[in-house]
Amino acid sequence: MSTSRDETFHGYNPDDNVLPTEAPIRTDTLIHTGQIGGEPRLFYSASLFTTGNGIVNADLALTGLPEGVLFSVPFVSWFSPLHRQSLKFGWWNTSLRFGGHAQSARRVRAWYEPAAIPVAQFSGGVMGRTVDVRASLYAEPGKAEVVQWLRLENRSDAEVEVTVTMSGAARPGEEAGSFYDAVNGTVGRGRVPNPTECAVQTTGSSILIRNESAGVFVRLDGSVAPVSPKFEKVSVDLPARGGALQRPTLRFEIPYRLTLEPKGCREFTFTVSFANHRQDVARPPSPTSMGRAIGQWRRRLAHVEALETPDRLLTAALRRSAAYALSLGYEMAERDELIFHSDHLEWPVDCARDCYHIANSLLLLEPEMVKKHLRFYFLNAIPNAGPGKSYIGQGVSRGQRDARLLDLAAYPLRELYRYWRATGDDAFVADPQVRSTVERIVGEVAAWRNPETGLFSSTERSSDERCVYPYFIPGNMLFVATLERLTELCEEVWGDDRLKEAIGGLARSGREGIYRHAVGSDPEFGDVFAFEVGESGECLLYDHADIPNLISAARFGFCGRDDPIYRNTLRFLYSPRNQGYRGTRDGKYAALCDGSKTMPHSPWPLGAMSHLMSCCASGEEARRWVEWLRDCLTPSLQLPEICDKHTGGPIQRYWFGWPTAMLLMVYIETICGVKIGKEISFEPLAPAGWREYRSPILTIRGERLQIIVTDGEARTVGA
């Protein structure tokens, strides 16, 4: 077992990347872990199985195993949008004892069942000779609970006593963006933390953890009653800037005892669910069976199952993309709103940059989800907290700081426009509160404008790094293109010529400023767009994978793909002169990366997708990029943040939610060619060698249809 403070995997098992089939897939799994401050932070493996064959289940890591623990779940960040407001589970471990023998996972064999449930079979010690254990983690669509399932089969002729122990920690008061949060801890100074009072109530097989003062309640339910559960409130020292913090922690150890008859089988379930204050602990929820959960997911994803490509693994990954994006959305209790988590594990808040792409991957599949997400933004979060970096379920911004990020202001506006054009829902965008929020965002960003140049200033890039020069041009391009689309709303829905002229004037000024002040003359490439420019004419030539980037200018509608300056810029971007363009050492894969972040010489999937969506890729390039995206899929059919410069395979952030969801967005918008604007058009980019392929069943302006592309020509059929 390795111990690390970074996010880099310490090994990769290529045998895990095998094609999903209807037969079980079996592969050995390597064990890795990471720790921070002596506590588990990330548990990860070459087999981080969550789904296959297009069906999703809650994420389960089979690794990072402390002594005597069979498997661990990092933290329950997916079962509720309120999970981190006042009660966060740091992790839970599952331990097994047979009689007096503790079981250790010397080796784990994992596979996909035909119905795509991730399963682990542990071997080693007494267990390998006596009891077969299969484990899974699953959730039913739309239910704020996750179920851990164990199936124990006694292969001996003697009765076996089994003790299943769930141990771990809950963190009262910890939330995304808090000063306890090493990953997301960017919250502004002086903010009062959430209340941290926590009490435990046990009734029968149910345990209710209450944070009354914060109004958050979590239930733990075993399929049998626990035996003398233990809870302990402690304060853990946590190194932090400016000195150590005392992190309040509720540690727990909950044992359950079972008897296995000779040659008998038994199942055990452990359910973690988000409760509300009116729930009666004496009436525990009955966990959904795994079979029913599979059926629920199949029904929920029936319109995605219609998707077909010539590549079976890519087809499975696209279905996985839809399922994962769906699993990141949570409806708010008692409000017709929905929040997207940017990622289950690493970024469990709603960040406008990530969630724009998650929402757009679902826009033509689940338009009601996107509408509810827009209600959260425009009727709750932004009116309450302003256009911030990220939000939690109360509509409170997390990540507040003295920063100007143009893309984070533009993305909610762009998501609103695309929803309106994709659905024709005039009534929603006509809501006075929606309009008021639009005006608030535009008004705030207008104050960032330099009246002499027309450019909007930024303090940070889309990679969350400080700008070298104050005018981040990809952000300006995105915001200007978004303003131009808002004028259509002013004219067609709001009927406000004054507002149309005000927004249009900002857009014209910004567009003129970019062409006047952000175009540099390069002796090798000619006139090119700069990445950043300064007050005195300074010009930075560069581009990276984080979006918005310069290559996305055509995709976002700032310029046409035939704009000569844009074409020159592309030539620069894909040259050795661009420090943000790197590839594998064998020369097989090269893409935009991020030259200033970790692993600066390794390609990023986001860079490949940026090229695909740039409107400039050829059929041969599309084939090459799609094949690379397929090849760098993780075993859980997700896309990582970064790929290895030697192999092109996943190496950092296996679970990254943004590119995983964006894969489907690329397929629908680019490969199937759905263009959303005043008119809906279909301009597919067929990868070389793809004779025929199909979209999911889409909902476009109230009509259900499917796109079938044959020999590069698209046709639609009703569904």
Burial of 385 (0-12, 13-18, 19+ CB in 10 A): middle
pLDDT of residue 73: 65
Please report, as a single letter, which amino acid is at residue 403: A
Distance CA 563, CA 282 (A): 67
Alpha helices in 103-209 (DSSP H): 125-130
- 708, 715 in Cβ contact below 8 A? yes
Distance CA 203, CA 206 (A): 5
Structure tokens belonging to residue 94: 């599952």
- Coil/strand/helix, residue 259: strand
Nearest in space to 121 (alpha carbons), one of 150, 99, 141: 150
Torsional sign, CA 108, 290, 664, 387:
negative
Hey, what domains does the chain have and what are their CATH numbers?
Answer: 47-299 (2.70.98), 429-578 (no CATH)
pLDDT digits (tens, 9 = 90+) for 520-559: 999 999 999 999 999 999 999 999 999 999 999 999 999 9
pLDDT digits (tens, 9 = 90+) for 225-275: 999 999 999 887 765 555 566 778 888 999 999 999 999 999 999 888 777
What residues have CB less than 8 Å from 122, skipping those under 6 apart? 70, 103, 105, 107, 108, 109, 128, 133, 135
Distance CA 17, CA 115 (A): 18
Preceding amide of 548 cis, omega within 30: yes
Highest-confidence range of 150-159, 278-287, 675-684, by mean pLDDT? 675-684
Q: Which of 209-218, 542-551, 556-565, 656-665 has the lowest mean pLDDT?
A: 209-218
Q: Measured between alpha carbons, how far is residue 500 from residues 407, 421, 483, 534, 650 in Å? A: 21, 18, 10, 30, 46
Torsional sign, CA 88, 91, 96, 101:
negative
Which residue's structure tokens are 């310069």?
A: 550
| Residue 73 backbone phi and psi in degrees, to 5 | -115, 125
- 657, 324 in Cβ contact below 8 A? yes
Structure tokens belonging to residue 113: 């069942």
SS3 for 278-294 is CCCCCCCCCCCCHHHHH
Q: Measured between alpha carbons, how far is residue 43 from residues 30, 49, 59, 62, 72 in Å? A: 12, 12, 11, 8, 7
Q: Quickly state the pLDDT bin for 183 (edges 50, 70, 90).
A: very low
pLDDT digits (tens, 9 = 90+) for 123-159: 444 555 678 777 776 767 666 677 788 888 888 899 9
Residue 58 vs residue 491, higher pLDDT: 491
DSSP state of 14: G
pLDDT digits (tens, 9 = 90+) for 400-435: 556 789 999 999 999 999 999 999 999 999 999 999
- Coil/strand/helix, residue 277: coil
Percent of the chain with pLDDT strictly greater than 70 = 72
Calculate the average pLDDT of the chain: 79
pLDDT digits (tens, 9 = 90+) for 305-360: 899 999 988 888 888 788 788 878 878 767 899 988 887 656 667 889 999 999 99
Please report, as a single letter, which amino acid is at residue 464: D
pLDDT digits (tens, 9 = 90+) for 649-660: 777 766 678 898
pLDDT beyond 80 at 614 = yes
Residue 488 vs residue 22, higher pLDDT: 488
